[in-house]
């Protein structure tokens, strides 16, 4: 019934689409009364910060602490107005982002180019794009989401780009302070303090953040601390800024459970000695300059030096981690350590000129990234239960079975040109040329002589694309556009795919990078008057993902190679109706009632399967099977009411069922690493009140009906088995701004 209702809603709203600015002001004709209404989502349609977005799917999410649970980085609330974003909610701590779109993998968001303040936050965006670090949302003012044709501007990815943009300052006063304190279920305590201000040509912003909780499961405690500072100098023709961010956390990993426990005792944990630690440091320099009246240049350079450490007992769930009487202690744990060192730089130039009666726009940019990873894996760790990074040699004297040096160099040149044709039509062709060089060396026990040798892989990538936009109507009340785009995409084979995961696994030495393309077509715009505004964004999409990497058996041994091609197609829709002062029309205060719908219908399937042993056997082929973790429906409905400092927010979320393996196994296996995950729906509610302009209190309930569900199964980290998601939780927040 839910799928039929959802399909009906998608069809009903697919006739129009609208976009809006981040701030709306409504004035009356008979007096000078001006009311201001904050919008939650913005969809630029031409140029945005030296980036051409005409004809593309790009949106800006404006964060507001009154309407969202920022204390735990609740991503299903953050992306509630962004159709198509699938959130893997297996970790309630919010320490890592695991999101995807259009049937792609959500594993630490590795199909997106993840950024903070415009620069990369992945250790190696081309060779190891997993996002271990995620900024605290208390400090974020907005999130920029690029999808589809964003590949030309952001390179080697299929999902697009997501940028967390921090606040630059709190206001224009010389000194201001913001303090947020949150307590909640499962021992949650979140503290955030920021200072900022503006002194002549200087502005500054910095924060200190701490969060800890016991976790909703046994053995799932965590603590995190974040520090950030930014100093900006206004120049005659621009600005330059320098910033430093430091983040670290320690998280106990509860591991997986078997399916039979999900609805009986989901908080069970069979692993008490699994730990994860992160130390993340980034130093960045940025600049924006107006060269001439119609020329601008923008640059950044960033350095990341970080560590990722994990230790635990990673045997399958049916192997208990018990006291070993033969050695008089618990068994040694597996220790894995990564050291990251990355330098990335990017320069963008934008030039506008007049041709005929229209302003044309050309942008060009270049990017350089050098990443070095020293990977130490499968070390013999301590037998204790605490976070102990001690390591012991094996019989051959080696401290780690894998001691690898991984280096990636990425150089790119990209350009786009926005051609305005009359007042209604625009075309934006683009091109990206990229050279990616990977080098791998070191030692691994998975090789016969232990020597990996020097492995090099160089490739030159050429991507092209085009975007188009047609302005149907544009006046004071109605702004309606049609848009379409198509472009090539590319993702290099990752280091984790190039290396054998066991002594028996064989890696195809001719494995190819993932190639393909994305396309989308839609319509967007706004209808507004003094009573309210309707905002729509509806589009269809088609994504081709060629050469997905996986394994199958050859001579009874796992063989890792390009297993097949994937096609994902569907429809995304967003509609919101905002009513201005619906109940108190004569009040001088702004009153806002908004109702929104955000939904996705998608069909992600394997269209080819490259295993030669079963290519002619339809009983074993996965051709036509659903892609893992790609729900057919994602629905989010919500209501928001603001008046005179009071806010009420309600959100409903529905996510369809998913398969967790390519063969689409329905029942779970004995180790709970495969098996279908059922659909689930969640309800979130919050109330807040802002008084004296400087104080705000908020209470909220997440998963109010205590839905028991799971969004992921694991075969390794953070512990094999089914990973339950958090049930009902309650929180209270106090905000002070002075």
pLDDT in tens, 667-694: 999 889 899 999 999 999 999 999 888 9
Secondary structure (3-state) at 153 = helix
- How distant is the alpha carbon of residue 738 from its chain centre? 32
- Which residues are 506's β-sheet partners? 559
Confidence of residue 715 (pLDDT cuts 50, 70, 90): confident
- Per-residue pLDDT, 652: 98
CATH topology of domain 2-450+459-737: Maltoporin; Chain A (2.40.170)
Q: What pLDDT does 622 receive?
A: 76
pLDDT band at 599 (very low <50, low <70, confident <90, very high): very high
- pLDDT > 60? residue 8: no
- Per-domain residue ranges for the chain? 2-450+459-737
Query: Is 0.85 topped by the overall pTM?
Result: yes
pLDDT digits (tens, 9 = 90+) for 450-465: 788 788 889 999 999 9
- DSSP-based three-state secondary structure for 303: strand
* Spatial separation of the C-alpha atoms in residues 673 and 334, rounded to whole Å: 20
Helix (H, G, I), strand (E, B) or coil at 170: coil
Highest mean pLDDT out of 121-125, 548-552, 648-652: 648-652
User: Helix or strand or coil: residue 75?
Assistant: helix
State residue 606's pLDDT score.
Answer: 93
CA dist 64 and 67 (Å) reads 6
Name residue 181's beta-bridge partners. 191, 734
Is residue 300 pLDDT above 80, yes or no? Answer: yes
- Reported as a pLDDT band with limits 50, 70 and 90, residue 408 is very high
Angle at 34 between CA 28 and CA 38, to 5 degrees: 120
């Amino acid at each position: 019934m839910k799928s039929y209702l959802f399909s009906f809603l998608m069809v009903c709203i697919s006739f129009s689409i609208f976009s809006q600015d981040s701030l709306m002001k409504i004035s009356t004709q008979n007096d000078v009364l001006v009311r201001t209404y904050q919008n939650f989502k913005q969809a630029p349609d031409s140029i945005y910060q030296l980036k051409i977005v005409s004809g593309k799917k790009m949106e800006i999410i404006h964060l507001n602490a009154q309407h969202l649970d920022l204390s735990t980085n609740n991503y299903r609330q953050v992306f509630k107005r962004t159709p198509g974003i699938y959130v893997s909610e297996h970790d309630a701590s919010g320490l890592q982002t695991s999101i995807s779109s259009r049937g792609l993998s959500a594993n630490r968001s590795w199909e997106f180019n993840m950024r903070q303040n415009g620069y990369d936050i992945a250790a190696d965006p081309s060779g190891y794009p997993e996002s271990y670090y995620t900024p605290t949302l208390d400090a974020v003012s907005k999130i920029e989401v690029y999808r589809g044709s964003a590949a030309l501007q952001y390179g080697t990815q299929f999902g697009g780009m997501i940028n967390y943009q921090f606040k630059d300052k709190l206001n224009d006063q010389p000194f201001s302070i913001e303090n947020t304190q949150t307590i909640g279920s499962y021992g949650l305590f979140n503290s955030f303090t920021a200072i900022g201000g503006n002194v002549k040509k200087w502005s500054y912003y910095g924060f200190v953040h701490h969060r800890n909780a016991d976790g909703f499961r046994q053995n799932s405690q965590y603590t995190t601390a974040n520090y950030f500072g930014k100093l900006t100098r206004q120049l005659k023709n621009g600005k330059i800024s320098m910033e430093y961010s430091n983040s670290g956390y320690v998280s106990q990993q509860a591991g997986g459970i078997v399916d039979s426990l999900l609805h009986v005792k989901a908080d069970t944990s069979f692993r008490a000695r699994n730990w994860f630690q992160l130390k993340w440091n980034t130093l960045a320099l940025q600049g924006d300059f107006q060269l001439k009246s119609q020329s601008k240049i923008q640059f950044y350079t960033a350095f990341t030096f970080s560590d990722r450490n994990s230790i635990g007992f990673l045997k399958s769930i049916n192997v208990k981690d018990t006291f070993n009487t033969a050695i008089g202690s618990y068994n040694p744990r597996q220790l894995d350590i990564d050291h990251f060192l990355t330098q990335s730089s990017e320069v963008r130039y934008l030039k506008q000129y007049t041709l005929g009666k229209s302003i044309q726009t050309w942008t060009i940019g270049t990017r350089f990234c050098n990443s070095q990873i020293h990977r130490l894996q499968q070390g013999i760790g301590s037998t204790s239960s605490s976070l102990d990074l001690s390591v012991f040699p094996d019989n051959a004297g080696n401290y780690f079975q894998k001691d690898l040096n991984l280096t990636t160099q990425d150089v790119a040149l990209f350009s786009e040109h926005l051609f305005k044709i009359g007042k209604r039509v625009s075309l934006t062709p683009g091109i990206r040329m990229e050279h990616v060089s990977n080098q791998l060396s070191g030692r691994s026990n998975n090789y016969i002589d232990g020597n990996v040798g020097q492995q090099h892989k160089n490739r030159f990538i050429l991507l092209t694309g085009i975007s188009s936009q047609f302005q149907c109507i544009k006046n004071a009340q109605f702004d309606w556009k049609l848009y379409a785009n198509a472009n090539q995409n590319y993702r290099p084979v990752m280091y984790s795919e190039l290396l054998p995961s066991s002594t028996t696994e064989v890696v195809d030495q001719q494995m190819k990078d993932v190639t393909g393309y994305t396309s989308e077509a839609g319509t967007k715009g706004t209808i507004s008057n003094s009573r309210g505004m309707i905002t729509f964004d509806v589009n269809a999409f088609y994504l081709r993902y060629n050469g997905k990497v996986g394994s199958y058996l050859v001579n009874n041994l796992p063989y890792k190679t390009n297993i097949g091609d994937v096609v994902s197609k569907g429809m995304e829709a967003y509609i919101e109706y905002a009513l201005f002062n619906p109940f108190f029309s004569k009040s001088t205060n702004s009153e806002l009632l908004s109702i929104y719908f955000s939904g996705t219908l998608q069909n992600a399937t394997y269209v080819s399967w490259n295993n030669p042993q079963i290519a002619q056997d339809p009983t074993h082929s996965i051709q036509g099977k659903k892609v893992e973790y790609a729900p057919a429906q994602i629905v989010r409905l919500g209501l928001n009411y603001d008046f005179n400092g009071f806010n009420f927010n309600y959100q409903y979320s529905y996510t369809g069922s998913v398969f967790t393996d390519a063969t689409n196994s329905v029942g779970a296996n004995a180790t709970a690493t495969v098996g279908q995950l059922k659909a689930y729906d969640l309800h979130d509610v919050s109330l807040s009140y802002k008084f004296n302009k400087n104080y705000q209190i908020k209470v909220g309930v997440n998963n109010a009906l205590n839905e028991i569900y799971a969004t992921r199964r694991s075969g390794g980290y953070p512990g094999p088995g089914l990973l339950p998601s958090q049930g009902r939780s309650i929180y209270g927040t106090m905000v002070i701004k002075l």
